Each structure stands twice: as structure tokens, then as C-alpha cells.
Amino acid sequence: MIQKTKLPLTSTHWGTYRVRVSKGRVQELLSFEQDQDPSPIGSGIIDVHHGAMRVRAPSVRKSWLENGPGSNTDLRGTDPFIEVSWSEVEKLVANELNRVRKDYGNSAIYAGSYGWSSAGRFHHAQSQLHRFLNCIGGYTRSKFTYSFAAAEAMIPHILGSYREFLDTCTSWDSILENTGLCVCFGGIPLKNGQISQGGVGSHFQRQNLIAASKSNISFINISPVKADLLEEVGGEWLSPRPNTDTALLLGIAYTLHKDGLTDIAFLKKYTEGYEKFLAYVLGETDGIPKTASWAATICELDAETIENLAKKMSRNRTMISVSWSLTRQDHGEQPFWMAITVAAMLGQIGLPGGGIGFGYSATNFVGGQFTIPPAVPLPQGRNPISSFIPVARISDLLLHPNETFNFDGKEYVYPETKIVYWAGGNPFHHHQDLGRLMQGWKKPETIICNEWCWNSLAKRSDIVLPCNTPLEREDIALTPRDPYVVKMSRLTESFGESKTDFEIFQGISRAMGVESNFTGERTSTEWIEWLYEETRKRAVERGLAMPEYKKFDEEGWFKFSDPKENIVMLQDFRQDPVQNPLKTPSGKIEIYSEVVANFGYHDCPGHAVWREPCEWLGIKKKKFPFHLISNQPDNKLHSQLDHGSYSRAAKINGREPIHINSLDASKKSLKSNDLVLVFNDRGSCLASVVINEGIRPGVALMSTGAWYDPIDPTSERSTCKNGNPNVLTPDKGTSSLAQGPIAHTCLVDLTLIDKPMPKVTAYDPPRIIGNSRG
Ligand SMILES: Nc1nc2c(c(=O)[nH]1)N[C@H]1C(S)=C(S)[C@@H](COP(=O)(O)OP(=O)(O)OC[C@H]3O[C@@H](n4cnc5c(=O)[nH]c(N)nc54)[C@H](O)[C@@H]3O)O[C@H]1N2
Ligand SMILES: Nc1nc2c(c(=O)[nH]1)N[C@H]1C(S)=C(S)[C@@H](COP(=O)(O)OP(=O)(O)OC[C@H]3O[C@@H](n4cnc5c(=O)[nH]c(N)nc54)[C@H](O)[C@@H]3O)O[C@H]1N2
Ligand SMILES: [Mo]
């Protein structure tokens, strides 16, 4: 048997693996010897890689092929497909892009193409798509991410940048040495630390969390879900009503002020506009003092608990961790702004182990004590088209062309969309209110995607171009979010007629006469070496050692050496705010932002405020009794590999689990494993009940990821029999400022289903009726 360390490597968002291949197939993924806490998610790919759900040839929806663009768009999802040759499909796509460019202009091509795709820097599907479209005059793009759009728009106004501070969150090493108290909004969910975009060399969240709990650090998990903090860590569990964190933090702020616990010197030296915020806290501006008792009625915690928490935070070196989920809710700009404000009042920002952190364990990289690799991405060229949407406004774009929308202080217009092109993302996974997306999805004349499997997106497209998986292509994992650089080997032949995304766009660009612009006259192998060498040049400039490409290629991996000094967010700013000002108008932390105030948005004024979410447990005239939390799944990454054995093993009687507290179960006369309909006015889905005392009463927890599978695929509001919670979630922007998604703001009800329900068909391929090649 070959020694494990001699086996070829591959990299995924959920880890690096040594791969055992025989008989032309990947047989086993073995954890990388450097990985201290490997994730089991990877195993899900083996049984589906060569299965019936692979897209084996370019496939075109029957009505589109026979009657042209825009035909029977209501049949997307039910029409059968016809397989065509690559040369035929390349011509079809080229002609269609040319028709739309000529008649409507490039802004009529929406190719935001949001999504995680797979690891591997060169074959990053979205970058490949954007590079290709930039060669033919551009496209309408999307701005920001589903992960934390509210923070991406808001934090630059407060701290001058978001990404910069996300990438330099105070490291676990600094926490281990200095922190006394870790207050974790949304917990520190290890399930999420399994992944990191672009690849993971070694998972470090668990080891650090356990080490922290063994030292003298105490943890407080503030979350509707007890399991958001590892059982072994112990600590206290506070479960306020979901989406009330801002009110809780305001109650803490009031207490700090009342008890004289604010660091006035810090506020003076490093922040802007505290007085204006304080007037609001004291109720001088709206007549409502934001006392602990006021907060207590909103959060449903005791006032005493809130006051004690405030005092404990001021007594200790305190790290406040705010999970990214706090941004994916109505007014999701506010919790982060408020948490920064409280951290400033405590005066610990920029001190070792203190201040604020954005989502420890939201992905593996947060809090890493590693050197940020100066990773060079694939150049995408220039997009001359200025039209864009905030990423989660996709249904609005399709349903309301030529109408205006607000975003970050300006007004913009949605362009008209004729073509949607998606590569490396799945809107039928990620978007809210799928019934509404279904309405919008009928509007474009042509929908194209590159996919490797017949998931909910591929089934609802007009032209499906079969792409390779990472196991079928050579690539390089090289991301600023992980210190490991991994050479990914090509491990198996391409399934059916599938190609890499690069080859797919090479073929279309050839048909459009722009092949050499697109390829840059490099092969994929040459591009991989180019990315490495360009990164090495940057590394050398920064004094970072990196082996030559040949040596790296032979070894298979390389790790940047760790920095000697502990990483402490905003340490430079604290040490010298004049020499190292923030990139805000005042150069300081903007507790009050004149810029934001001048936008004049009621839903996002000039300092952090409590605004009632559009749906929450405290709403007047509550129609649906449960707050649905549709968090990230433990057993997969989003919708990827939902059809694989690892994900399917976690279903109960073939349906997605929904967790509720025993108090709610008895109110509803439900028991474990009961099949329920989860519903509200937007839609419904099926799920199997799990009774879980670690869920706050009034909360229902159902993770995302199940492939959308409506009982009646032609109906917009049909029950999803596979349990995709996005049939329930609202499609509304966080505020006029960020317009981010608000999946975690959602009320639902549950009812027992005591009759047999239709079987899940999500994992069956669509009907393919012959091929046009005879
Ligand atoms: N209710 C609810 N909804 C949510 C969230 C939530 O918390 N609750 N979270 C949101 C968040 S934070 C995110 S980031 C989004 C995630 O949403 P997405 O990133 O869109 O979800 P994925 O399932 O990862 O989609 C990636 C797609 O790329 C395909 N793919 C993989 N490799 C390749 C490749 O090499 N080439 C091509 N062409 N395709 C490939 C996969 O098959 C898959 O269909 O979901 C959002 N939606
Ligand atoms: N295994 C796995 N890991 C992943 C992903 C995946 O799909 N699978 N997706 C990755 C991606 S794209 C992202 S963006 C990150 C997201 O990282 P997070 O945003 O941290 O992920 P979530 O699981 O949505 O939320 C974390 C926890 O926040 C709690 N929560 C929800 N609403 C509230 C609230 O109003 N208040 C408080 N205090 N707590 C609340 C929920 O109980 C939830 O379990 O995860 C990444 N990690
Ligand atoms: Mo995300």
C-alpha cells in the first residue's frame, strides 16, 4: 500500500484531503496529516460523484430549444431536457448573448452569480464567468454577500473597513493569554468552523475553544440554541428572543453609563459622536430610556441578568463575539454597530484579548494566528457596465425592472434582465422567499448555468453546461483566509462530457471571437503556475518565504510561517490614533456617523438604534407563534452534497429535522419524529420533529441546505417536501442602507401531518428525452 503522505492531495472548503484512487474512481478521502480536527463533510462526495445526478452532457430545456428564448418560461422546472453537443451549445449560448447584447445592451445580462462554488483558485467558477463576460462587454453584477451584507455596507462607516478587521480579528492566542470573559452573541458554533472559503489546511477552532475553556476564561452563550457553544466549554446560556440583541446591548450600555463604568477617556480619544448616542440611550431624543428593564421586556431576560452582565463585562478583559447571523436579520446593521459601541464604552478595543470580534468559528479562519497569504486571484478584467444590485435583491431585479432602490445613501435603478447566467452558486438554495423568486424566475428569456449535478438550480435553467468537480481538474488552493497553499491533483477523468468552467468559457469565447482575450493565451496549467508565481512575487516584497513553483508542485503543499506577535484587532489605532487613523471621516470609531445620518433613513439613522424587526416574537398581533432560525447546516456546506450519503444520513424518515423545545411540543401535541407542516403566509415545507431542550421555547430551528422540491413544481407556493426553509423566509432588505438578506427574521407555525405525503424527488434527475444528435 502506498504511504498516506505520498497520496495526491485535493482541497475543499471543508478541508484538505489525501485521496485514494483506484479503477479510475476516487475511493476514499483521508484527512490531511496537518489537519488537527478534520471535518467529515468531505465523505459526502464519493457516492454521488459518478451517480445518476451528474449532468453528463450539455442539456437544453425542450421549449427553449424548440421555440427559442422566452418560450414557456413557466415550464422551468418541469420541461424535459434535450442533450446537445458542445459545439451546438456553444453556438446557442454565443448567439443568445449576442442577440441580447445587440438588442438591449450588456446590462440585460445578470451574472452576479453569487455563491461559494468549490475551492481552487483558478477554477473559481464566478471569477471565470466574470472574466469571460468582461471580454464581451460586461454584465450587471451583485454587491456584497449573503453572509453579512449589512456589515459590509455599515462597518466601513463605523471603522473605515469591514474586511480588513474581519481578517485581523484578535487571534485565539491573544484571547488565551488575556481574556477573562467571552460574551458570544450567536455562540461560537463549531459546526460552522468546519469550513472556510477557498480551502482549509488545519481546523483550529475546536482546539482553541477547548484550551480557552480549560484556562480561566468564562463564556456566555447568547443564542436561541444552546449547542451554539460546545457542551464541554460549559459557560452560561442566555437565550433572549431572537433578533433582540440590539435591545440587550442597549440595556447593557445604559447600565454601564448609569453605574459610571464607561471608559470616558477612551471614548474621547478614539470615538466620534458618543454624546448623540448617549442622548438616545437616556431617552432624551425619543422619551424612552433604554434601561435594563426596558431591554428586559423586549428580550425576555431579567433586568438583573442584564445589569449583572454589564458589570461583569466591565470587570473583566472582555471579548464580545458577534456571530455573522446577527447581520442576516431585519435591521441587521444595528447589532454590529451596537456591539462596537458597547466595546468602545468598555474601552478595551485594541487591547490584547479585549474588544470585539466578528464571528469566532463562523468559518475556520476567524481568530487565526496566521500570516495572511498575499494570494493573487485570477484577473477578471474590467466590467464597463455600472449597473448592479445589492446581492439579495435578485427577485426585485427580476420583478421590478426600471424601478428605483435605495442603497448606501444613493438611489439606483434596476436594469431590465433578459439573460441570467449562474456559475458556482444556487439561488434556489440561498435566496429568501423562494415562491417570490419563482415568480421572478419566469421573467428572463434565458437562464444559463454551469453545474455538475441536477440540483434545484440546474433543473430550473434553460441551458445547463456540465462542469467538472474539483476531483476532475488540476488546481491550486491559495486564499488569504488560510496559511496553507495546496496543489490540487486531477484525480479522475471527467464524468460524461463535463468540462472545467475554464474550458466551458473557452469554448463559448471561441464561438464569439474572443478566445485569446479570455484565455490570456495560457493553458490552465500555465495559469496555476502564474497565480503561484505572482503570489510569490508579492510574498517576497513582504519578506515572506515561499518555495519555487517546482518544489511546491513536488511537495504538494506549503504553509506560510505564523507571525510571532499575537494579532490584536485595532492595536495600531489604539497605540497611535493620529499616525494610524481609521478610514472614517473623523479617523475615529464613529459611534455617531454624520454620513449615515445625512442619508436620512428612518430604518438606519446616525447611530445604533433598536428598531422592531418586521417579524419577531414580541410583535403585536402575532399570527405565527414560532421564530424560525434557519442556520447553517452541520453536515454539509449550504446545499452542496445534500444528495450525498453523509447529508442524507442526518434526515429523519427522509425529511429535514426541525428542533423545538418540549414545552412547545406538548402545546402542539407533537412527539419526536412526527412529520409536520411548517408554514406561514409565504409558503410551507415538511419536516420531522426533534424535541430539544437546548432550544429556546418559541423558537424552531431548521438548518438550510435541503434541495428545494415543491410538491407541484409549477406552483409558486407549493409545499417543499424536502424541507428547504427558504420557502418561509422573508425577502426584504435589512434597511435602505445595506439591503442585506434577513433569513433569520421569520415567524412560522407547525401542524402535525398524519397522512402519507409524496416522496422526495429532489434527488431524481429531470426527464431527458433523447438528444439532438440523434
Ligand atoms: N434561510 C437561510 N438562507 C441562507 C442563509 C441562512 O443562514 N439562512 N445563509 C446564506 C449564506 S450566508 C450564504 S453564503 C448562501 C450560500 O449560498 P450558495 O453559495 O449559493 O450555496 P451553495 O450550495 O454553496 O452553492 C454553490 C453551488 O456551486 C456549485 N458548484 C460547486 N463547485 C462548482 C464548480 O466548480 N463549478 C460550478 N460551475 N459550480 C460549482 C454547487 O453544486 C452549488 O450548486 O446561502 C444564504 N442563504
Ligand atoms: N458546516 C457549515 N459551516 C458553515 C456553513 C455551512 O453551510 N455549513 N456556511 C458558512 C457561511 S457561508 C457562513 S456566512 C457562516 C455563517 O456563520 P453564522 O452566521 O455564525 O451562522 P448561522 O449558523 O446562521 O448562525 C449561528 C448561530 O446564530 C444563532 N442566531 C440566529 N439568530 C440569532 C439572533 O437573532 N440572536 C442571537 N444571539 N443568535 C442568533 C443561531 O442559533 C445560529 O446557530 O457559516 C459558514 N460555515
Ligand atoms: Mo455565507
Per-residue pLDDT tens for 79-113? Answer: 999 999 999 999 999 999 999 999 999 999 999 99
Three state DSSP letters for 667-692: HCCCCCCCEEEEECCCCEEEEEEEEC
For cell 475511493, the residue is 27
In degrees, rounded to 5, the angle at the alpha carbon of residue 129 between the alpha carbons of residues 123 and 133 is 145
Q: Which of 126, 166, 185, 192 to mutate to test the pocket of ligand 2 (most atoms within 8 A of CB)?
A: 192
Determine which one of 64, 114, 237, 708 is catalytic. 114
Indicate whether residue 361 lines ligand 1 (CB < 6 A): no
Q: What letter would DSSP give residue 287?
A: S
CA of 311 to the centre of ligand 1 (A): 41
655: pLDDT strictly greater than 70? yes
Indicate whether residue 243 lines ligand 2 (CB < 6 A): yes
647 vs 46: CA distance, rounded Å: 12
**256 burial via Cβ count (<10 Å: 0-12, 13-18, 19+):** buried
CA of 119 to the centre of ligand 3 (A): 14
Indicate whether residue 244 lines ligand 2 (CB < 6 A): no
pLDDT band (50, 70, 90) for residue 1: low
336's enclosing H/E stretch is: helix 333-346
58: pLDDT strictly greater than 70? yes
Helix, strand, coil shares of the chain, percent, nearest 5, are 35, 20, 50
CA of 638 to the centre of ligand 1 (A): 5
760 vs 80: CA distance, rounded Å: 19
- How much is the pLDDT for 39? 96
CA of 427 to the centre of ligand 1 (A): 7
Nearest ligand to the C-alpha atom of residue 325: 2
- How much is the pLDDT for 4? 81
- How much is the pLDDT for 5? 85
774: pLDDT strictly greater than 60? no
- Is there a contact between 658 and 730 (Cβ–Cβ < 8 Å)? no
299-323 pLDDT tens trace? 999 999 999 999 999 999 999 999 9
Do β-strands 355-357 and 318-322 pair in parallel, antiparallel, or remain unpaired?
Answer: parallel
- How much is the pLDDT for 773? 62
Amino acid present at 212 = A
pLDDT band (50, 70, 90) for residue 43: confident
CA of 224 to the centre of ligand 3 (A): 20
DSSP 606-672: SB------SS-TT-SS-SS-EEEE----SSSBTTBTTTSHHHHTTSBTTB-EEEE-HHHHHHTT--T
683 vs 694: CA distance, rounded Å: 27
Active-site residue 114, yes or no? yes
The protein residue whose alpha carbon is closest to atom 10 in ligand 1 is 146
Q: Which of 10, 12, 146 to mutate to test the pocket of ligand 1 (most atoms within 8 A of CB)?
A: 146
Confirm whether pTM is higher than 0.95.
yes
- By C-alpha distance, which of 118, 128, 123, 127 is closest to 196? 118
The protein residue whose alpha carbon is closest to atom 33 in ligand 1 is 117
- List, in order, residues 6 or more apart from 584 with CB less than 8 Å away: 156, 157, 158, 159, 160, 272, 590, 593
Atom of ligand 1 lying closest to residue 115 CA: 19
The protein residue whose alpha carbon is closest to atom 16 in ligand 1 is 430
pLDDT band (50, 70, 90) for residue 488: very high
CA of 116 to the centre of ligand 3 (A): 8
Nearest ligand to the C-alpha atom of residue 743: 1
Indicate whether residue 191 lines ligand 2 (CB < 6 A): yes
- Return the percentage of the chain with pLDDT > 70, whole number: 99
391: pLDDT strictly greater than 50? yes
Active-site residue 116, yes or no? yes
- By C-alpha distance, which of 312, 306, 300, 216 is closest to 261? 312
Indicate whether residue 632 lines ligand 2 (CB < 6 A): yes
- List, in order, residues 6 or more apart from 770 with CB less than 8 Å away: 82, 83
The protein residue whose alpha carbon is closest to atom 27 in ligand 2 is 186
Atom of ligand 2 lying closest to residue 146 CA: 14
The three cell numbers locating residue 704: 438550510
- How much is the pLDDT for 451? 98
Indicate whether residue 729 lines ligand 1 (CB < 6 A): yes
Looking at residues 710-731, what average pLDDT do you find?
97
Indicate whether residue 186 lines ligand 2 (CB < 6 A): yes
Indicate whether residue 228 lines ligand 2 (CB < 6 A): yes
Distance of CA 366 to the CA centre of its chain: 14
The three cell numbers locating residue 666: 406538548
616-654 pLDDT tens trace? 999 999 999 999 999 999 999 999 999 999 999 999 999
Indicate whether residue 189 lines ligand 2 (CB < 6 A): yes
Q: Which of 626, 631, 637 to mutate to test the pocket of ligand 2 (most atoms within 8 A of CB)?
A: 631
The protein residue whose alpha carbon is closest to atom 47 in ligand 1 is 430
- By C-alpha distance, which of 689, 699, 693 is closest to 626? 699
- List, in order, residues 6 or more apart from 543 with CB less than 8 Å away: none
- How much is the pLDDT for 770? 80
Amino acid present at 656 = E
pLDDT band (50, 70, 90) for residue 612: very high
